[in-house]
């Protein structure tokens, strides 16, 4: 596909403020970049940092978290909890070589449809400048150094019939979902 690259943003919006604001933006027929995918949560406090990184490792170029303004959380203080996580997460991401622009926390009240539009457009512009993150592609690139040997062995196995232990590579991004083992 010759389509020009557009950043992909996964957004986690709280049900009461930012999701509603995005609804308002819709009802008001505001126009904004189409590359954002909103996932509704009840509160920004539900945003597990794992969600942010899971989105990035699965190919998102940016993650936007939207919650109620400080003091306005429907659940009193869930947004503060997200804010505290975000402060350290930003540092961790920086240390891991992920640009600051890729993960953003915004307070958007239910009345601020225009802010939804402004933030999404602004973030899209910033990400256009920063460029693709492409973690799945990077992982693939990294793993070329080991897939070579694996393929060699697999080829050998196919030839030397009878060997049934073709090592199936466990995809690194998908954590091993081992069953509970009590010993």
Partner 1 sequence: MSKPKVAFYWCASCGGCEETIVDLAEDILGIVEKVDIVLWPVAMDFKYKDIEAMPDKSIAATLLNGAIRTTEQEEMAHMLRRKSQYLIAYGACAHLGGIPGLSNQFSREHMLKFNYEDAPSMANPKKTRPQLKFADGGREPTLPELHHVVRTLDQVVEVDYYVPGCPPTPKLTNVAVTALLENRLPPKGSVIAPDIALCDECPRKASKPVNTSFTEFKRPHQKLMDPNLCLLAQGIVCMGPSTRSGCEAACIRGGMPCTGCFGPTSRVRDQGLKILSSLCSNVAPKENGEIDKVLEGIPDPVGTFYRYGLAKSLMRRKVNLPVK
Partner 2 sequence: MQSTKENIRIGFYVCHCGHNIAAMVDCADVAKYVKGLPNVVLSRDYKYMCSDPGQELIQKDIREYKLNRVVVASCSPLLHEHTFRSATAAGGLNPYYFHMVNIREHDSWVHTDRGEATVKAKALAHAAIDRVAFHKALETKTVKINPDALVVGGGIAGIHAAMTLANAGKKVYLVEREPSIGGHMAKFDKTFPTLDCAACILTPKMSEVGAHPNITLWSYSEVAQVDGYVGNYKVRVKRKPRYISEERCIGCMDCISACVFKEPKFEDEFNEGLGKRKPVYIPFPQATPQIVVIDPNVCLNFKRTKGPDGTPIVSDRCKKTCVEACGDKNAIDFTQKEEIKEIEVGTIIVATGFKTFDSKRVPAYGYGIYKNVYTALEIERLVNASGPTGGEVILREGKNPDGSPKHPKSIGIIHCVGSRDKKTNVWCSRVCCMYSMKLAHLLKEHTGAEVYNFYIDIRAPGKGYEEFYNKLLDEGVHFIRGRVGEVTDWAMTPEEEGKLVIRVEDTLAGYVRRIPVDMVVLSSGLEPQADAQDVRRLFNMSCGTEGFFLERHPKLAPVNTFTDGIFIAGACQGPRDIPDTVAQAGAAAAEALVLIDKGFVEQEPNTAFILDEECSGCKSCIPLCPYSAILYDETRKKAHINEALCKGCGTCVAACPSGSIVQNLFEDEQIFSEIQGVLAYD
Pairing of strands 36-41, 9-14: parallel
Q: DSSP letter at 73?
A: B
| H helical segments located in 31-173 | 49-57, 78-95, 113-130, 135-159
In the list partner 1, partner 2, none, the entry touching 22 (Cβ below 5 to 8 angstroms by class) is partner 2
150 touching partner 2, by CB under 8 A: no
Residue pair 5/132 in contact by the 8 Å Cβ criterion: yes
| DSSP H or E stretch at residue 142 | helix 135-159
Which one of residues 2, 4, 7, 26 is an interface residue with partner 2 (CB under 8 A)? 26
Q: Give every CB contact of residue 140 below 8 A, 6+ residues apart in sequence.
A: none
Q: Which of 7, 62, 66, 78 binds partner 2 (CB under 8 A)?
A: 78
Q: Does 158 help bind partner 1 (rule: CB under 8 A)?
A: no
Q: Which residues pair with 39 in a beta bridge?
A: 12
Half-sphere exposure of 1 (CA within 13 A, CB side): 4
Site mask for partner 2 (CB under 8 A), range 102-131, x = bound: -------xxxx----x--------------
Tell me the window of 5-13, 14-22, 122-130, 131-139 that interacts with partner 1 (CB under 8 A). 131-139
**Vertex 13: Cα angle to 47 and 15 (nearest 5):** 105
Other Cβ atoms within 10 Å of 175 Cβ, number: 10
Residues that bind partner 1 (CB under 8 A): 45, 48-50, 53-54, 56-57, 70, 77, 80-81, 83-85, 87-89, 91-92, 95-98, 133, 135, 138-139, 141-146, 149-150, 153, 162-165, 167-170, 172-173, 175-183
Residues that bind partner 2 (CB under 8 A): 8, 10, 15-17, 19-20, 22-23, 25-27, 29-32, 34-35, 37-43, 45-51, 54-55, 58-60, 71-72, 74-78, 81, 85, 109-112, 117, 177, 180
């Amino acid at each position: 596909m010759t389509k020009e690259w557009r950043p992909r943003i996964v957004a986690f919006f709280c049900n009461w403020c930012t999701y509603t604001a995005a609804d308002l933006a819709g009802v008001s027929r505001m126009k904004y970049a189409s590359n954002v995918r909103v996932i509704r949560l009840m509160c920004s406090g539900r945003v597990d940092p794992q969600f942010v990184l899971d989105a990035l490792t699965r190919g998102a170029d940016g993650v936007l978290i939207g919650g109620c303004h400080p003091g306005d959380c429907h659940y009193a203080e869930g947004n503060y909890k997200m804010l505290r996580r975000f402060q350290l997460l930003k540092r961790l991401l920086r240390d891991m070589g992920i640009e600051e622009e890729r993960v953003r926390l915004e307070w958007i009240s239910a009345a601020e449809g225009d802010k939804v539009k402004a933030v999404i457009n602004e973030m899209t512009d910033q990400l256009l400048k920063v460029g693709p993150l492409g973690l799945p592609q990077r992982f693939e690139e990294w793993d070329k150094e080991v897939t070579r040997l694996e393929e060699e062995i697999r080829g050998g196995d196919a030839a030397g019939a009878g060997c049934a232990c073709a090592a199936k590579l466990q995809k690194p991004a998908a954590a091993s979902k081992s069953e509970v083992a009590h010993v």
